[in-house]
């Protein structure tokens, strides 16, 4: 740690705890109380109910949940496939070439999601690749936004794998395909699962680009939450927010547990 004295560490711990409570715990607590409230006209809710969560699991809200999961998994799996391929391919180039090509992959993460959504909307609203009004345009936007993080995770994993392991496999007569399938990918699997978890969480919470391009029938949870709160239906929006946070956390915890188990093998 950068703070060596016991008093300094204690003070830093207190400051960190206060910041965590104020900026993370309290907002979530307010959202949870709002999702359970019958009416909230004073400092605290006047009554509690589960009706908002019942509404969140029926009708359009349920469809939004399924849409978010479908888009999240499809975009994340495709981003993982492309990220692994790109990270493996870049190893064949020199350091300078790797640096410049990596910047190309990281570029989407530096562009605001609204700009990405607008660009995709303009580019694919007419031929030859017209995707406006279809699921494909949403998948494309999510893929562009999360691919940089997938590539980064996989590239980090590759730097942790010693080149000697692959060289030994080659010296024993393993073909490039056999070496990739039985040596490199199994060693890279923990980072691949972690990349999938990160990509999925980012896709599940994406709003800016999705608001501009989502077609009818593919309203995601963040879009549904925004629409509810924009119409003044704060309680139902808060219930959907809790559902989104809970499902995202459960998926991430499950995937990270799988990644940890794979890393211990």
On whether both 44 and 109 belong to a single domain, the answer is no
| Region for 214 from its dihedrals, namely left if φ exceeds 0, alpha if ψ lies in -120 to 50, beta otherwise | beta
The residue from 28, 49, 70 where one domain ends is 49
Residue 151: which CATH number?
Answer: 1.10.3720.10
The secondary structure of 39-80 as a DSSP string is: ---SSS-S-B-SHHHHHHTSHHHHHHHHHHHHHHHHHHHHHH
Asked if residue 117 is part of any domain, the answer here is yes
On whether both 173 and 252 belong to a single domain, the answer is yes
Predicted pLDDT of residue 3: 64
Asked if residue 135 is part of any domain, the answer here is yes
Average pLDDT over residues 111-134: 87
The yes-or-no verdict on residue 79 having pLDDT over 90 is yes
Given a contact cutoff of 8 angstroms between Cβ atoms, the answer to whether 252 and 190 are in contact is: no
88-92, 118-122, 149-153, 190-194 — which is least confidently predicted? 88-92
On whether both 195 and 164 belong to a single domain, the answer is yes
Given a contact cutoff of 8 angstroms between Cβ atoms, the answer to whether 255 and 204 are in contact is: no
Predicted pLDDT of residue 28: 86
Asked if residue 38 is part of any domain, the answer here is yes
The yes-or-no verdict on residue 43 having pLDDT over 80 is no
Under 8 Å CB-to-CB from 104, ≥6 apart: which residues?
Answer: none
Predicted pLDDT of residue 90: 86
Predicted pLDDT of residue 66: 92
Average pLDDT over residues 244-263: 88
Average pLDDT over residues 151-161: 87
The residue from 49, 73, 89 where one domain ends is 49
On whether both 170 and 248 belong to a single domain, the answer is yes
The yes-or-no verdict on residue 1 having pLDDT over 60 is no
| Region for 189 from its dihedrals, namely left if φ exceeds 0, alpha if ψ lies in -120 to 50, beta otherwise | alpha
pTM of the model: 0.85
Question: DSSP code of 133?
Answer: T
The yes-or-no verdict on residue 14 having pLDDT over 80 is yes
Asked if residue 99 is part of any domain, the answer here is yes
Average pLDDT over residues 209-219: 89
Question: Domain range for residue 248?
Answer: 60-263
On whether both 43 and 145 belong to a single domain, the answer is no
Asked if residue 213 is part of any domain, the answer here is yes
On whether both 17 and 37 belong to a single domain, the answer is yes
Mean pLDDT value across the chain? 86
The yes-or-no verdict on residue 257 having pLDDT over 60 is yes
Nearest CA to 71 among 162, 250, 205, 224?
205
On whether both 65 and 42 belong to a single domain, the answer is no
On whether both 44 and 64 belong to a single domain, the answer is no
24-33, 53-62, 240-249 — which is least confidently predicted? 53-62
Asked if residue 55 is part of any domain, the answer here is no
Instruction: Report how far residue 257's alpha carbon sits from residue 249's, in angstroms, rounded to the nearest whole number.
Output: 12
Question: DSSP code of 173?
Answer: T
On whether both 36 and 64 belong to a single domain, the answer is no
Asked if residue 253 is part of any domain, the answer here is yes
Between these two residues, 46 and 233, which has the higher pLDDT value? Answer: 233
On whether both 65 and 40 belong to a single domain, the answer is no
On whether both 211 and 111 belong to a single domain, the answer is yes
Average pLDDT over residues 74-91: 91
On whether both 179 and 235 belong to a single domain, the answer is yes
> pLDDT for 159-209, tens place per residue?
887 777 777 777 777 777 888 888 888 888 999 999 999 999 999 999 989
Confidence of residue 111 (pLDDT cuts 50, 70, 90): confident
Predicted pLDDT of residue 131: 87
Given a contact cutoff of 8 angstroms between Cβ atoms, the answer to whether 200 and 145 are in contact is: no
SS3 169: helix
Under 8 Å CB-to-CB from 68, ≥6 apart: which residues?
Answer: 203, 204, 220, 221, 222, 244
Query: How many other CB atoms sit within 10 Å of the CB of residue 192?
Result: 21
Asked if residue 54 is part of any domain, the answer here is no
Instruction: Give the total number of structural domains in the chain.
Output: 2
């Amino acid at each position: 740690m950068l703070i060596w004295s016991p008093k300094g560490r204690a003070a830093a711990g207190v400051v960190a705890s206060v910041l965590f409570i104020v900026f993370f715990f309290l907002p979530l607590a307010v959202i949870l109380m709002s999702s359970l409230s019958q009416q909230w006209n004073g400092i605290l809710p006047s009554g509690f109910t589960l009706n908002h969560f019942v509404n969140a699991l029926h009708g359009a809200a349920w469809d939004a949940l399924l849409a978010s999961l479908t888009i999240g998994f499809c975009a994340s799996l495709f981003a993982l496939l492309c990220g692994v391929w790109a990270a493996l391919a870049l190893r064949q180039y020199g350091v300078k070439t790797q640096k410049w090509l990596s910047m190309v992959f990281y570029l989407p993460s530096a562009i605001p999601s609204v700009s990405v959504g607008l660009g995709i909307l303009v580019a694919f609203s007419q031929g030859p690749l017209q995707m406006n009004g279809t699921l494909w345009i949403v998948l494309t936007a999510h893929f562009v936004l999360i691919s940089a993080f997938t590539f980064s995770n996989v590239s980090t994993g590759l730097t942790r794998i010693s080149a000697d392991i692959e060289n030994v496999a080659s010296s024993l007569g393993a073909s490039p395909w056999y070496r990739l399938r039985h040596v490199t990918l199994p060693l890279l699997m923990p980072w691949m699962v972690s990349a999938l978890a990160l990509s999925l969480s980012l896709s599940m919470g994406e709003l800016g680009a999705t608001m501009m391009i989502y077609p009818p029938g593919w309203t995601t949870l963040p879009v549904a939450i925004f629409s509810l709160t924009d119409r003044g239906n704060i309680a139902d929006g808060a219930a959907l927010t809790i559902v989104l946070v809970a499902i995202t956390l459960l998926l991430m915890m499950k995937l990270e547990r799988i990644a940890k188990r794979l890393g211990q093998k």
